[in-house]
């Protein structure tokens, strides 16, 4: 396996594509469909005597453009098969009805979150009027959880890891000690939940379950979708759980200090002013936490926003570690 590092001027952090050569030439993730990433991916393949036309299969961790954007172009050049989890395959293939449903959900949630009109307009301009980062739409062969994808002498065990995206999948390498973690486990920052894919039901709960499953597998190394390998995946997974417990504590503290509030207001206290795609990610993550805490009985939904229950307020005052168990 060879890691090809790609620049990323659209989202923060370098991307990785992973190249497997043998009986079949396989790429896991492709980078975003912009000229800089395309040139870097081409250069990475050229270093191994390959080009887009030599790729037999593209396997995608999830539908986000910084992972799937060049899949259609590679398929057009080589006839490569493109594979993604069944939940994300329609989006990668550009099915208009699926994308329309996503945009309808966005509109509903923007209202529920309390997003102001000017912020909505800014976000929609960023999404629809920015550069075409998705590239051409490939034909996609869907897979399900717990399958094993076989390409000649390469076997990739599918490890479904929803949260950041409904169809997010990791891939366990032969022997089971290492895996390609996509955006489920990252070395520097934590994957967004709630805004990154509004289709995910109970996104924080799903992601916490994913982190627990990663920790339980006892992997020796993770090869993430961004930046450098992670040599203690279980430790990193537990750290991210602690990060979300700290964030939950902050959410509750905001409500305790400022009274009932909607997701947009809580996001402003957590993250300040936001720009670009973060106008979606900030309130989305606040909403994921608020809804999780409401289901746990720590918050009540009122006409004025989410409100701390009396019991949660009392327990919050008694905590000294700035964390809220999830």
Q: What is the pLDDT of residues 29-72, one digit of tens each?
A: 999 999 999 999 999 999 999 999 999 999 999 999 999 999 99
173 — pLDDT class (breaks 50, 70, 90) = very high
Predicted local distance difference test score (pLDDT) of residue 133: 86
pLDDT at 130 over 70: no
Indicate whether 9 pLDDT > 70.
no
pLDDT of amino acid 103: 94
In tens, the pLDDT along 248-268 reads 999 999 999 999 999 999 999
Please tell me which residue, 126 or 324, carries the higher pLDDT value. 324
How many CB atoms are closer than 10 A to CB 253? 17
The predicted structure's pLDDT at residue 11: 66
Average pLDDT over residues 218-225: 98
What CA–CA distance (Å, rounded) separates 194 from 215? 22
Which pLDDT score, from 0 to 100, does residue 146 have?
85
Q: Are 41 and 17 in contact (CB under 8 A)?
A: yes
* Predicted pLDDT of residue 13: 66
Q: Where are the alpha helices (DSSP H) in 176-272?
A: 203-217, 233-258, 263-271
303 pLDDT higher than 60: yes
Q: Is the pLDDT of residue 129 over 70?
A: no
> pLDDT digits over 86-124, tens only?
999 999 999 999 999 999 999 999 999 999 999 999 888
Q: What is the pLDDT of residue 124?
A: 84
pLDDT, mean of residues 217-243: 98
Encoded tokens for 291: 């809804």
For the chain, give the number of residues: 326
Nearest to 225 by CA among 196, 249, 201, 251: 196
Report d(CA 163, CA 184) in Å as an integer: 8
pTM for the whole thing? 0.96
Answer whether residue 10 shows pLDDT above 70: no
What pLDDT is stored for residue 92 in this prediction? 98
Give the pLDDT score at 126. Answer: 78
pLDDT at 12 over 80: no
Q: For position 282, what pLDDT does the model report?
A: 97
Share of the chain above pLDDT 90, in %: 91
State the average pLDDT over residues 278-292. 97
The Cα 285–Cα 62 span in angstroms is 19
pLDDT of residue 194 exceeding 60, the answer is: yes
Please check the confidence at residue 237 and state whether its pLDDT lies above 80.
yes
Mean pLDDT rounded to a whole number for the chain:
95
| C-alpha closest to that of 199 among 109, 72, 293, 80 | 109
For domain 2-93+132-203+210-231, the CATH architecture is 4-Layer Sandwich (3.60)
Q: What percentage of residues in the chain have a pLDDT greater than 70?
A: 97
Average pLDDT over residues 190-201: 97
Average pLDDT on 13-24 reads 94
Q: How do 57-59 and 26-28 pair as beta strands? A: parallel
Provide the 10 A C-beta neighbour count for residue 125. Answer: 10
pLDDT at residue 296, rounded to an integer: 98
Domain ranges of the chain: 2-93+132-203+210-231
CA quadruple 113, 187, 144, 149: dihedral, nearest 10: 160
Answer yes or no: is pLDDT of 2 > 80: yes
């Amino acid at each position: 396996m060879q890691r090809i590092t790609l620049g990323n001027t659209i989202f923060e952090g370098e991307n990785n594509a992973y190249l497997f050569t043998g009986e079949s030439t396989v790429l896991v993730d492709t980078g975003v469909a912009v000229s800089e990433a395309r040139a870097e991916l081409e250069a990475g393949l050229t270093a191994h005597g390959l080009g887009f036309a030599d790729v037999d299969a593209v396997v995608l961790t999830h539908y986000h453009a910084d992972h799937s954007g060049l899949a259609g172009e590679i398929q057009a050049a080589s006839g490569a098969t493109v594979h993604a989890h069944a939940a994300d395959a329609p989006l990668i293939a550009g099915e208009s009805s699926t994308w329309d449903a996503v945009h309808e959900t966005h509109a509903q949630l923007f209202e529920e979150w309390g997003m102001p009109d000017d912020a909505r307009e800014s976000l929609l301009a960023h999404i629809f009027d920015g550069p075409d980062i998705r590239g051409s739409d490939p034909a996609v062969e869907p897979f399900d959880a717990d399958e094993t994808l076989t390409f000649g002498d390469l076997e990739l065990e599918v490890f479904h890891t929803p949260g950041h995206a409904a169809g997010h999948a990791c891939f366990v390498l032969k022997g089971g000690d290492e895996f390609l973690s996509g955006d489920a486990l990252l070395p520097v920052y934590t994957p967004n939940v709630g805004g990154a894919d509004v289709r995910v039901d109970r996104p924080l709960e799903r992601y916490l379950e994913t982190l627990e499953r990663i920790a339980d597998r006892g992997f020796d190394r993770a090869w993430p979708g961004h930046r450098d390998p992670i040599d203690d995946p279980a430790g990193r997974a537990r750290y991210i759980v602690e990060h979300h417990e700290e964030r939950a504590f902050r959410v509750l503290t905001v409500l305790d200090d400022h009274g009932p509030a909607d997701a947009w207001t809580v996001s402003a206290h957590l993250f300040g002013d936001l720009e670009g795609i973060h106008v979606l990610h900030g309130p989305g993550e606040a909403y994921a936490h608020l809804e999780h805490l409401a289901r746990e009985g720590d918050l009540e939904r009122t006409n004025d926003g989410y409100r701390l229950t009396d019991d949660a307020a009392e327990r919050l005052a008694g905590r000294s570690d700035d964390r809220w168990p999830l």
